Amino acid sequence: MLTLRLTELPRPGLPLAYPAIPGEPLPPAYAAVAAAAGFEAGRGGALRLDGVVQGRPAWLVGVAPGPHGMEAAGALAAASLAGEGPDGPRHAVIDARGLAPAEVAALAMGAGMRSHRLPFLGAEPPPALRQLDLLVEDAAAAEPALARVRAVLRGTGLARDLAAEPGNRLSPRDFADRLGELEGHGIEVVVHGRHWLERHGYGGLLAVGRGSAHPPRLVVLRWPGHGPGGTPPVAFVGKGITFDTGGISIKPAAGMEAMKGDMAGAAACAGAMLALALRDSPAPALAVLAIAENATDGDSYRPGDVLRMGSGTTVEVVDTDAEGRLVLADALHHARRQEPRAIIDLATLTGSIVRALGHQRAGLFGNDAGLRDAAMAAGEAVGEPLWPMPIGEGHRRDLESDIADLRHCLPAGGGGGWAGKFLPDACHAAAFLREFACPEGAPHIPWAHLDIAGMDLREEGVESGPYPLPPGPSGFGVRLLDRLVADRFE
């Protein structure tokens, strides 16, 4: 974890980065070198300055125009300062004098996102930047914004670390244990095990977890907030499949290792709770995390099985690899029973949404225009953009089953002709979840469903997010939820 510190006096000798803003003149010593090297600040690149600043390596970092330019510059500064070899510095400084507190915070956010080190389980962890000083004129003025950045970075870091953990190190029990550590931050943690789930009839979560040697968990996190008493919480619901083999409908081998990250939705919810707690948000919040391993086993649930869900609805299983919507359905039902102000669920749910929106936007479904607009705005603001997607009448009709109240997906390639090969599975999944998030005739609770498949993992060579970051779990959703709560629920 990168330590971010404000300082008003630079320590001599530390490597330094200087954010260059297009249209603003550079200090003369820098300007000459920049001009000679053809450096254009607006392109967002970095230029190493040797011998310009006495006794220390220095970088000019261009701030590209656009809403995330300053944050991108922070990330680029951290990357440049850290260097590439094993002997890179552990401590560096960014000259942020003259910048507003929000800009200092953006620099810090970018640097923090870039410098986060995922768990490394080998003998010698790769070197990393440990501490970054931000040189400012008035540290006290910038501190509140920076404190907030630290909270969000720790939340994002938690989500990224959890998603990076391999399936053998993060079983449902391990995941629940890790979440138990959040109690140290004032978050109440309740872990429901198999027997509790059986008693309450949470048949979706139980069925998915049945094939695994590690039974499922429903974990409920509560942040009390400190607003006026009686304010209902905002609820996050997360899909937490610690490893997804696909079950009996087993996945092809290629790329299956990435399925250790199929709990990124739950991890993001947990990270958002941590961020809210660390920045002492006044808004009460609740997270319901459906945690299970979808394993292939003699006792796995089968295609064709009919499940009775926690809500009493019966569901015909078509494809055991569409397990996320089953565990979410029970978690959404549980969340509804807490009578929250709104429900936002996050899940790495479908390949279909990746086909639809690529790696630039997550899919946003829901039942409430106000919440949709707020979520869109929050996503744009923090660089985790969404795009609204439809739940059509036809999508719901497609889920009709001959044997149960619903089927949970359509058979792959089941339709006729050329067009029948293509299924709008993301829309089908959302239509399915709606039956549990807002059952017909039940009181309206604003609900938003974020299908974050395609955004949860940065892949080598695939552009994703507003600026480049190293491959690995992205923590997508933590910042968005934090911002959404700040804008709409505080």
Partner 1 sequence: MLDIAFAKPALPESGALVLPLAEEDLGGGLVGEWDRLLGGSLARGLAAAEFKGRKGQVVTLFAPGGGLSRLVLVGLGKREALDAGGAEAAGGHAVAALGKEGIASIDARAIGGWAGAPADIALGAALRAWRFDRYRTKEKPEDKPRLTGVKVLCDDPPAAKGEWAARRAVADGVFLTRELVSEPANILNPPEFADRLRKLEKLGVEVEVFGQKDLEKLGFGAMLCVSQGSAQPPRMVVMRWNGTDQKKRDSKPIAFIGKGVTFDTGGISIKPAGGMEDMKWDMAGAGVVSGLMMALAGRRAKVDVVGLVGLVENMPSGTATRPGDVVTSYSGQTIEVINTDAEGRLVLADVLSYCKKRFDPAFMVNLATLTGAIIVALGNEHAGLFSNDDDLAKRIEEAGKSVGELAWRMPLGEAYDRQIRSDIADMKNVGGGRAGGSITAAQFLQRFVEGCPWAHLDIAGVAWGGKDQPTVPKGATAWGVRLLDRLVAEHHEGRQAQPAPAPAETEEAAVSGAGSASPAVLAEGTPGSEAPLPAPDLPARPAAEPAPAPRGTRRPATRRPRR
Give the residue, chosen from 4, 16, 287, 332, that forms a contact with partner 1 under the rule CB under 8 A. Answer: 16
Looking only at residues 127 through 186 of this chain, which bind partner 1 when binding is defined by CB under 8 A? 135, 137
Structure tokens at 136: 């400012």
Burial class of residue 320 (count of CB atoms within 10 Å of its CB; 0-12, 13-18, 19+): buried
Q: Which of residues 337-356 bind partner 1 (CB under 8 A)?
A: 352-356
The region of 6-14, 177-185, 328-336, 473-481 touching partner 1 under the rule CB under 8 A is: 6-14
Q: DSSP string covering 305-367, please?
A: -EEE-TTS-EEE-S-TT--HHHHHHHHHHHHHHT--SEEEEEE---HHHHHHHTTT-EEEEES
Collapsing DSSP to helix, strand or coil, 18 comes out as strand
Is 458 a known active-site residue?
A: no
Show the binding pattern over residues 42-61: x = contacts partner 1 (CB under 8 A), - = does not: x---------xxxxx-----
| Interactions with partner 1, residue window 258-277 (CB under 8 A) | none
Q: Answer yes or no: 260 catalytic.
A: no
Among 35, 37, 43, 65, binds partner 1 (CB under 8 A): 65
Minimum distance from residue 221 beta carbon to partner 1 (Å): 27
Q: Which helix H or strand E contains 287, and what residues bound it?
A: strand 285-294
How far is 62 from 73, CA to CA, in rounded Å? 6
**Which CB, 41 or 158, lies closer to partner 1?**
41
User: Between 30 and 236, whose beta carbon lies closer to partner 1?
Assistant: 30
Contact 284, 230 (CB under 8 A): no
The neighbouring-strand residues paired with 31 are: none
Q: Residue 354: exposed, middle, or buried by beta-carbon count in 10 A (0-12, 13-18, 19+)?
A: middle
Using CB under 8 A as the binding rule, the residues of this chain from 89 to 128 that contact partner 1 are 95, 97-100, 102-103, 106
Between 115 and 352, name the residue whose CB sits nearer to partner 1.
352
Nearer to partner 1, 100 or 302 (CB): 100
188-192 and 217-223 beta bridge pairing: antiparallel
Segment interacting with partner 1, rule: CB under 8 A, options 165-173, 214-222, 271-279, 357-365: 357-365
Rounded distance between C-alpha atoms, residue 459 and residue 240, angstroms: 20
264-278 and 139-164 are packed helices; what angle lies between their axes, rounded to 10 degrees? 150
Q: Of the residues 148, 325, 336, 361, which is catalytic? A: 325
Task: Provide the H-helix boundaries in 361-424.
Answer: 369-382, 393-397
Output the smallest distance, CB 431 to partner 1, in A: 10
The answer to whether residues 42 and 49 touch, using CB atoms and an 8 Å cutoff, is no
Selected catalytic residue, list 251, 308, 355, 396: 251
Task: Select 119 or 394, whichever has its Cβ closest to partner 1.
Answer: 394
Question: Which runs of consecutive H residues, i.e. helices, occur in 246-307?
Answer: 264-278
Closest to partner 1 by CB, 23 or 122:
23
x-or-dash pattern for partner 1, window 384-423, by CB under 8 A? -x-x-xx-xxxx--x----------------xxxxxxxxx
Please report how close the Cβ of residue 23 comes to partner 1 at its closest, in angstroms.
3
* Among the listed residues 15, 17, 68, 170, the single contact to partner 1 using CB under 8 A: 68
Task: Tell me how far, at minimum, the Cβ of 398 lies from partner 1, in Å.
Answer: 8
Residues marked as catalytic? 251, 325
